[in-house]
Chains A and B, each alone.
Chain A
């Protein structure tokens, strides 16, 4: 059989691609350590969305979140040999992301802020107010809009509570993994998650009374389930 070089490459690609999808994250990173770029592509496919979602909720700016997601993945590739299987791969990658986020936020806080002459409401007292569905009954809260409202609410949780909260609620890391990522004591992790949940509940409380929002939430969940089934 006389395959062209491109065809040979594709065939090899397909074969290895099938194998890689079945591997654990920890096995993939071992392959990356051996110089396998396809294994790295698989890691990117698995983590890019999770990382972006986590980082965006921390930094609030999509461009910065995109940038930091790329930076995290590049660091994973470049420093792959530093990974040892004493911790789960997800713990390691979220540690890198968390450190990058912290550095970015620290740099941001050092920048001088412009003071407004109009007094703004206290951040902690601000409550997220969803649009009133009774004003236009035909219009529910769209998914994007709901996302913005939640992003707004999340950003009002103080950073020290937000990191463990998001790692638990969105990334579903265990308490021990969050302890490793943040370097906090286990008791502190527990209490911070509890406080953040309480804070988040206060912030979204008005939304939870909104029937159309709950309907919208169910629609979003059904769509997400459909996407998962298709994959």
Chain B
């Protein structure tokens, strides 16, 4: 066996990586080669020196580590949103934004419809109006009095989308038709009950609740941050050193 191969095997033998048959061959070589024996002794001494000269850390290492860890955790807690405010995924986030935008849009349309409408009434056809029934398709008949007589006794809005059409046609319309054709006002009674002041107050209540909810969310986040600060202080300085004044 050549010395080069023997030294390669020596390194493996020191780490118990050499197969048994090769260990025997290596031992035979070492018995005969003093240079390779010296080489092995040097490797062993080198290992001993490396183990004996391991460097020592300063005594302050642990508390410095603890301080740094607390700072890292505090920073992470400050940056992370509250779990219940975090969307569960990209789609959820998209839907949340869509929902908010839709709600705001709907609220705006309702506000315009309720407060900016001329006279606060939905225009209805007058008695003796020359326009045909198709012009009033957004209105559906309400049965009252004589059944199946073919006479229209009252009208209600067919759906909310036609509000814009109402706006276009509002000019010149004064009073809705009534069952007896007398031209009596149609503002009271069945067909306008959906636009009562009650709905407006409901919307206002919802809006107030939403504002209150946002305020509470903000407060919760504030207290969460405060809690993290207290925990960090408690870990580092102990109970007596909590900086309550600063936190407040």
Q: A-side interface residues toward B, CB under 8 Å? A: 5, 37, 41, 44-45, 48-49, 52-53, 56, 62, 65-66, 69-70, 73-74, 77-78, 143, 146-147, 150-151, 154, 166, 168-170, 175, 190, 193-194, 197-198, 200-201, 204-205, 207-208, 214, 217, 220-221, 224
Contacts and interface: CB of A to CB of B under 8 A. Distances in A.
Interface string B52-74: 11111110011011001100100
Interface string B5-25: 001100110010100000000
B69 A77 contact: yes
B65 A73 contact: yes
Interface of B: 7-8, 11-12, 15, 17, 39, 42-43, 45-58, 61-62, 64-65, 68-69, 72, 76, 235, 239
Given A70-B64, A194-B8, A208-B42, A221 B48 contact: yes
A147 B55 contact: yes
Nearest to A78: B72
Given A170-B50, A220-B53, 5 more contacts: A37-B235, A41-B62, A78-B72, A147-B53, A193-B15
Given A44-B62, A194-B11, A217 B49 contact: yes
A46 B212 CA distance: 52
Residues of B contacting A: mostly: helix
A201 B11 contact: no
A61 to B, nearest CB: 12
B68 A70 contact: yes
Nearest to A165: B50
14 contacts: A48-B61, A53-B55, A65-B55, A73-B69, A147-B55, A169-B46, A190-B11, A193-B11, A197-B43, A201-B39, A201-B43, A201-B46, A208-B42, A208-B46
A48 B62 contact: yes
